[in-house]
A = this chain, B = another copy of it.
Amino acid sequence: MALIVQKYGGTSVGSVERIGAVAERVIATRDRGNDVVVTVSAMSGETNRLIELAGQVSPHPAPREYDVLVATGEQVTIALLAMALVDRGHEARSYTGAQVPIVTDSAHTKARILRIDPERVRADLDAGRIVVVAGFQGVDEHGNIATLGRGGSDTTAVALAAALEADECQIYTDVDGVYTTDPRVVPRARKLDRITFEEMLEMSSLGAKVLQNRSVELAGKYNVPLRVLSSFEEGEGTLITTEDSDVEEVVISGIAFNRDEAQLTVQGVSDRPGVAYRILGPISDANIEVDMIVQNVSKDGSTTDFTFTVHRKDYEQALEILRKQAGELEAREISGDPDIVKVSLVGVGMHSHAGIASKMFELLSREGINIRMISTSEIKVSVVVDEKYLELAVRALHRGFELDKE
């Protein structure tokens, strides 16, 4: 008898009918002899409805109260799902984050889980009940309701699985697994049966938004086997787990890309300690997230060019900040380009295989694609190219690395 934690997102519980379908799926899992804990998001559209209400009451809603408000979204879903289970003759109980309790810090609207007391849930499981837990929310040490921020339901599921020492954490989504790349760009993209936590992190942070990064990190940290499956189709999905012997033979798992990047360059700054901080400090103070950072060796021994990428929506603001700083930075020029994309090869096997990066560059050059920036890590090689080349680059790499073949 295994203990399975399942998570269903907003689309999967988007209507009364779909909640019924989720109940059937939960019961099927239970009928196969498993204990089941289910985490659910708010019904799709509900969180936005609540946020709009808040916006009508206050342009800057008090964060503590914002959390009290939006936490009702998941509370509605847990109650309806538990009802649906009871209606089908199963014992079930719903719990809000505060009831479990899922204890978080007090950073309202973006709280982090500190710990979960699993006793109450475990007692219900021992009594033969299915337990339904509200995703996305918890309670701080002072009893205030706190939410984990958007997408936090995945994190709730993984944290519950870790606290309960579950055998598997299943994340039901609207896709049937993790693909070698986006099937909308490469129709022959192939579903992966397995992928490591590290690869999934790279895939996910690079735009393959199947899972929240925080949830993958957490699953890796506590070694919770994580499976991505479709709520709407049958199938085994993709299992995300630690590297195993099989994985060694796989060099490249997939190709991720991110359309929403913009590039900023500070040219001709003095190449001395502290320059990176002086450039990025004001950017980060403005709560702009920086993605890639590339600084090349000094060309003339005294000045260097410093390039980084940000989300495209932050481009104008970042450019303005840099321009204001230009004098202080003693930079020769501030430039930027909002029409760039990032394409990355991801694979745990990569670091032990020389020539992967050079083969990537060759494949791109054969298509006449100019590479503007390069950045590498243990398990990925990312390049920045002009936006217009995105599909061409992804397809060339997918074919060149034979990702469409098993």
Residue of B nearest to A58 (CB): B87
Q: Could you mark each residue 215-249 of chain A with 1 if its beta carbon is under 8 Å from any beta carbon of chain B, else 0?
A: 00000000000000000000000000000000000
Residue of B nearest to A43 (CB): B53
Residue of B nearest to A54 (CB): B83
- A window 47-90: CB within 8 A of B: 50, 53-54, 56-62, 64-66, 68-69, 71-72, 75-76, 78-80, 82-84, 86-87
Whether B76 lies near A72 (C-beta < 8 A) is yes
Whether A71 lies near B75 (C-beta < 8 A) is yes
Among B61, B94, B144, the residue within 8 A (CB) of A68 is B94
Whether A65 lies near B79 (C-beta < 8 A) is yes
A64 contacts which chain B residues (CB < 8 A)? 82, 93-94
Tell me, yes or no, whether A34 is within 8 Å of chain B by CB: no
Contact residues on A (Cβ < 8 Å of other chain), bracket: 35 or more
A59 contacts which chain B residues (CB < 8 A)? 87
Tell me, yes or no, whether A143 is within 8 Å of chain B by CB: yes
Whether A16 lies near B94 (C-beta < 8 A) is no
Given A16-B53, A75-B75, A87-B58, A96 and B82 contact (CB-CB distance below 8 Å): no
Among B68, B79, B92, B93, the residue within 8 A (CB) of A79 is B68
Tell me, yes or no, whether A157 is within 8 Å of chain B by CB: no
Complex CA–CA separation, A93 to B93 (angstroms): 29
Among B58, B79, B96, B144, the residue within 8 A (CB) of A66 is B79
- A window 256-282: CB within 8 A of B: none
A82 contacts which chain B residues (CB < 8 A)? 62, 64-65, 68
- A window 103-129: CB within 8 A of B: 120
Q: Could you mark each residue 367-402 of chain A with 1 if its beta carbon is under 8 Å from any beta carbon of chain B, else 0?
A: 000000000000000000000000000000000000
Q: Could you mark each residue 138-174 of chain A with 1 if its beta carbon is under 8 Å from any beta carbon of chain B, else 0?
A: 0000011100000000000000000000000000000
Whether A58 lies near B83 (C-beta < 8 A) is yes
Whether B62 lies near A86 (C-beta < 8 A) is yes
Whether A78 lies near B68 (C-beta < 8 A) is yes
A92 contacts which chain B residues (CB < 8 A)? 62, 65
Whether A86 lies near B68 (C-beta < 8 A) is no
Tell me, yes or no, whether A98 is within 8 Å of chain B by CB: yes
A20 contacts which chain B residues (CB < 8 A)? 57
A144 contacts which chain B residues (CB < 8 A)? 99
Complex CA–CA separation, A59 to B58 (angstroms): 39
A87 contacts which chain B residues (CB < 8 A)? 57-62
Complex CA–CA separation, A16 to B82 (angstroms): 31
Tell me, yes or no, whether A189 is within 8 Å of chain B by CB: no
Tell me, yes or no, whether A360 is within 8 Å of chain B by CB: no
Among B57, B79, B99, B145, the residue within 8 A (CB) of A83 is B57
Whether B57 lies near A84 (C-beta < 8 A) is yes
Whether B68 lies near A75 (C-beta < 8 A) is yes
Whether A84 lies near B58 (C-beta < 8 A) is yes
Tell me, yes or no, whether A203 is within 8 Å of chain B by CB: no
Complex CA–CA separation, A20 to B56 (angstroms): 10
Whether A57 lies near B98 (C-beta < 8 A) is no
| A20, A54, A61, A80: residue with the most chain B Cβ atoms closer than 10 Å | A80
Tell me, yes or no, whether A37 is within 8 Å of chain B by CB: no
Complex CA–CA separation, A49 to B270 (angstroms): 64
Whether A75 lies near B72 (C-beta < 8 A) is yes
- 6 A-B pairs whose Cβ atoms sit less than 8 Å apart in the complex: A20-B57, A54-B83, A65-B79, A66-B79, A72-B75, A99-B143
Known: A68-B75, A69-B79. 9 other contacts (CB 8 A): A19-B57, A50-B76, A57-B80, A62-B87, A65-B80, A68-B79, A68-B82, A69-B80, A99-B144
